[in-house]
Chain A
């Protein structure tokens, strides 16, 4: 492994990095958010190596760094929504998800056939990509599920010797300012929605206009995919609100579909709670589908034992969440994604917010 300090000659750094990428090597590099790890996105050998480095991915996509919109256009289908982001927010700390043109190695795509594009606001990196002539992966340099890396020591602290040995080059820029990871915006649904970070100020909810049931199902899958770490650490809660027939159960079906549950998901109103064991790739857990419509007081809520259900690898979808919100005290570490289903001008509006955003 070679370590280059950023204050050395940038021409030399670029040359070294390009040489390394051409040999299917792995480069750890600084960005305006966290340290990233780059491999040639079109080389299956390089991606093999990267996946070995990152460890369990569970189908999580890797995004790619490009120099500009023209270059991005070769790898993804840029629709009107995406175009707005390219114009207004890039280069910058955003990952814009579009439909992949399948030029990159298929493992770089998400399982929905989408691909995240990043144009870092960090000239050194775009210079490297420009010189290299094709995109590099732009995933954070930590092993899957580990601490966000703001300095090289953060990266190495959680790596095994074997993982360390896979890294060919490190570009060390010292300690980076503690900026949040990039906001991940999915532009493949009707309205762009932030899957990580937020597009809204003051903690306001993201708004998605869902056209049909399929889109609600898709949304559930995207949200699951983006919360796999939370799911695997402490468990995940989806809190759903909205009146009858708004699509809450459809969303639950989407969650079930994502984790590979084959059974028909039907409303648990009669017995309050349905449970389904699942196994998706390497993760096994339980999906609990709760209907809180008839829960009228705290005593009834206690019969459900929700606190015991929310744990590592379990996903809990609660319909009519507002019914029990005031009495439910979950561990603060647990991520709760709240979705409010509304109807406006005969269109379905879904407001999405999260306690940890």
Chain B
């Protein structure tokens, strides 16, 4: 397989990786948390500046760790979207510059597609026997849950996707981050919320179950955020917001977020005629007439995105899949990224998708390469 240099600067991590097919040879992530933590969010202009400073060293380190030279690299892959426009720009410009200097092909990658396929990545040293096996396991359903995304994506073959549900307001990770910030847990508060949730006691707080009345597969977390906010204000007023209460609240909120994901996932699994549940508007029907996705059943669940590192989320989904097995006799395996680093934003997953695109000869022309901050999974 060709060795590919991959670059991702979509949000607040500057990342570079060397990938050989499904095998990750190196995956460097230069986090900007130190810069953004003082504000509690990511300023695109600050992120851009940090990417500019970080990306070249990240690339050098990725090549060094993978023990490759420019001669070994066959193509450069870069995230073109979705993400923060000024941040994306840095990676794209870098890729263009390197492609011109070293005369390499460029491959444009969708960041969400990369999260969706990230569970397929293999660590160095493993054989690629899984490649053939993989075809048998399609169609699959990718569940991408992160600070910026919450989506259900049907995959009948690699490169052919259909989004069937997504958050209509905040992403799941965003909800946890925001409430974490209300509790003064800093930035990003999500991982801390997970730690606190582990110390929390079940059943202390009750959050509303959102979107159960909607028959679609969409998610909504802004209601949870609002009720958490009211609850926190109330607890503060009554001076009841002590450590254990925060733990309990983190537990219940996280549970409510994951319950909703699991609830909609269950609905997807038990739905008939999935291919008719086209998302989001009838406009897409036209687009799909010729090339309609064909899904009769789901054979695997692929969980990706920053929140996929959360063990409680994995547990909730595994529990659902067990229930499904009991009721239908069909086993659906859950596949997750092999490391925590592959869950968050990283370039290895970008290189992984690029491997598939390389095989299909889907290269981008340098002059056409442009940032697409709101790129969807269909494009």
Contact = CB atoms under 8 A, between A and B. Distances in A.
Given A267-B169, A270-B148, A262 B222 contact: no
Interface stretch (A115-123, A131-139, A271-279): A271-279
A310 B174 CA distance: 27
Interface stretch (B35-43, B154-162, B296-304): B35-43
A-B pairs, 8 with minimum CB distance: A303-B43, A263-B374, A245-B226, A271-B42, A303-B45, A270-B174, A244-B226, A275-B85
A272 B167 contact: no
Contacts of A274: 373-374
B376 A300 contact: no
A305 B86 CA distance: 12
B178 A271 contact: no
A272 B170 contact: no
B41 A244 contact: no
Interface string A249-266: 100000000000011101
Contact of A272 (B44, B166, B281): B44
Contact of B41 (A266, A271, A276): A271
A178 interface: no
Contact of B44 (A267, A269, A273, A276): A273
Contacts of B222: 245, 249, 267
Contacts of A304: 43, 45
B171 interface: yes
12 contacts: A264-B168, A267-B174, A270-B41, A270-B174, A271-B84, A272-B41, A275-B85, A275-B373, A294-B181, A300-B43, A303-B45, A303-B46
Interface string B10-47: 01000000000000000000000000000111111110
Contact of B283 (A245, A249, A262, A300): A262
Contacts of B40: 294
B194 interface: no
Interface string A142-172: 0000000000000000000000000000000
Interface string B138-180: 0000000001100000000000000000111111001001100
B225 interface: yes
Given A266-B171, A294-B41, 6 more contacts: A245-B226, A264-B167, A269-B178, A270-B148, A271-B44, A294-B40
Nearest to B281: A262
B203 interface: no
For B43, B84, B147, which residue has the most chain A Cβ atoms within 10 angstroms?
A: B43
B280 interface: yes
A272 B229 CA distance: 19
A334 to B, nearest CB: 21
A267 B170 contact: yes
A276 B374 contact: yes
Interface of A: 244-245, 249, 262-264, 266-267, 269-276, 294, 300, 303-305
Contacts of A270: 41-42, 147-148, 171, 174, 177-178
Contacts of A249: 169, 222
| Most chain A CB neighbours (cut-off 10 Å) among B41, B84, B167, B169 | B41
Contact of A264 (B39, B43, B166, B226): B166
B167 A266 contact: yes
A322 B169 CA distance: 22
Contacts of B169: 249, 266-267
B11 A271 contact: yes
Interface string B207-230: 000000000000000110110010
Interface in B248-297: 280-281, 283
A266 B168 contact: yes
Contacts of A264: 166-168, 280
Interface string B166-200: 11111100100110010000000000000000000
Nearest to A269: B178
A169 B374 CA distance: 51
Contacts of B177: 270
A314 to B, nearest CB: 13
Contacts of B85: 275
A244 B179 CA distance: 13
Interface in B282-337: 283
A93 B147 CA distance: 52
A2 B166 CA distance: 62
B361 to A, nearest CB: 28
B209 to A, nearest CB: 17
Most B CB contacts (10 A, CB to CB) among A267, A270, A305 go to: A270
B174 A300 contact: no
Contacts of B226: 244-245
A266 B361 CA distance: 34
A269 B45 contact: no
Contacts of B45: 303-305
